[in-house]
Every structure is written in C-alpha cells, then in structure tokens.
Amino acid sequence: MQSHSKRMALMMIVAAPAAGEPVTVPNFSFESPPVMRDEQNPFGALPFIDDWDETAVGPADELDQNTGVFLNTDAPAPDHITNSHLDRLAFISSLIGNDVRQELSATFTPGWTYELTVAVATSFTFPVGAGEELEIALFYFDGGVEQVIASTLVAGSEVNATSLIDVTVSLPPVDADAPWADQPIGILIRPSTTDADDSLGEGFWDADHVRLEATDARIPALSALAMTVVALGLVAAGVMVLRRRAAWATRG
C-alpha cells in the first residue's frame, strides 16, 4: 500500500503544470509616500513616488508635477476608483517624455518567461484623449541606455475614470545569448512615444497594482489530453485500492 501511495503522489506531481512565481516589485501599489487630502492639498497628490524613478517633462517639469502618487477618493464620490488596490495610485502625464520606471534586483533568467501586469485608468479631472496611448514595458539597461524588449499599448478609448483594467505584456523564454539575459529586470510605464495627440498633453493616466510573474519554461506543462489520462489513471488506482480493501475485509 505504501509503495502504491508513493506512485500516486508521483503521478500527481508530474501532472502539475508549471506555475508562475511572483517577482518582488517594491512599492508595487504606489502606497508610498503617504499622502493626505486637505485644504492645502485638495487633490491629495504628491509629485514623487518612493522606489520608482520618474521623468517629468513639459510645462510643469520644473516643479515635477507630471508624475507622482494620489489618494483615491471615498465612495460615493464621482471620481472614486472602485477597484483600486489599497488607497493610493500613481499619476502620469500623457505628454511624451513623462514616465515612471524601476530596475529590480531580480534578473532576466535564461529559460524563463515573464508576464508584467499593470492596472490602468484615466484621470477623472484630467482625462486622456481617446487616441492617446500608454505603454507598459519590460526593459534592461545597455550602457546606461534604456532598451525596451517587450511592451504593449492601451488607448484612452479603452479605459475609464472609475475602474481600472489590467494591461499585460509577456516576454517569451529568455535566450541564454540574449543581451538582456541575467540583466536586472526593468519595468516601464509611459505615454506612447508615437502618441498622435501628444501636442495636447493635458491628460493624466492612473496606474496601480504592478505585478510581475516569472515561469520556468523548461518545465513543460502536460497537455489537456495527458492530464486527462493521468486523472483517469488516478481514479482507476483509487478503485483498485477500494476493491482490495473490500476483499481484505471479506477475508477477515
């Protein structure tokens, strides 16, 4: 019986598909620094974000007012974001050149895939244009120069001001010879560099809940058919065990 149980456990382990592992992203929810809403700060916003590097360009760049964190309003305020992660979010001007980015301690490991997800909305007070786009990207530094290796865009027409949508970018298995192999992972959130509405530059994107998962692509997941076969095998094995126990009980 003991060896039979071991075989069943082994079959269950083999049947388990490869699962993604979360990669630590400091201040992933933009909760730091803390900010309050009061008479001196009616928008409940601060023009900086802990653990993230920021680039601010445009009319207010001397005051760095184009990127930062803000406090979500309470329901039932019309600008309340219903599905924010905790209380604070990041804001990023839709003018090209503004961005927030972070270089992680984790590296792009050969043979692993990566999936970056960021929750995105548009500002209620200063909405982005329908044709404006936000880029979510993975990058690495090459000689101090930012090199984007995978990205996806979301348009202003796809988002709203009261609920966030998840935007995901996936990186295929890292080749051992790729320039970014074993390099620190970079996360980038910025207006599209080819934004047709850039001359307006009056809107703001909201971002929240940054998640990064890594999966070892060298561990193949079983196909649906193979998993079905394994499941049927486990059921059959279970039936055999029950029959043997019934036979032993009868003999006893």
**Strand partners for 107:** 184
Burial (CB < 10 A; 0-12, 13-18, 19+), residue 114, is: buried
Report whether pLDDT(8) > 90. no
CATH of domain 19-218: 2.60.120.260
Question: Do 169 and 135 form a contact (C-beta atoms < 8 A)?
Answer: no
Quote the pLDDT of residue 227. Answer: 55
Look at residue 1 and tell me whether its pLDDT is greater than 80. Answer: no
User: Whole-prediction pTM value?
Assistant: 0.80
Residue type, position 113, single letter: T
Say if residue 58's pLDDT is above 80. no
Confidence (pLDDT) at 226: 52
Angle ∠(83,89,92) on CA atoms, nearest 5? 125
How far apart CA 207 and CA 189 sit, in angstroms, is: 8
Predicted confidence (pLDDT) per residue in 165-211, tens digit: 999 999 999 999 999 999 999 999 999 998 765 555 579 999 999 99
Each residue's pLDDT tens digit, 221-241:
544 555 565 566 665 666 565
* Residue 14: band (very low, low, confident or very high) from pLDDT cuts 50, 70, 90: very low
Cα gap 94→73, rounded to integer Å: 22
Asked whether residue 219 carries a pLDDT value surpassing 90, the answer given is: no
Predicted local confidence at residue 20, as pLDDT: 87
pLDDT-based confidence at residue 135 (cuts at 50, 70, 90):
very high
pLDDT for the residue numbered 51: 98
> C-alpha distances in angstroms, 153 versus 16, 21, 91, 194?
33, 24, 17, 11
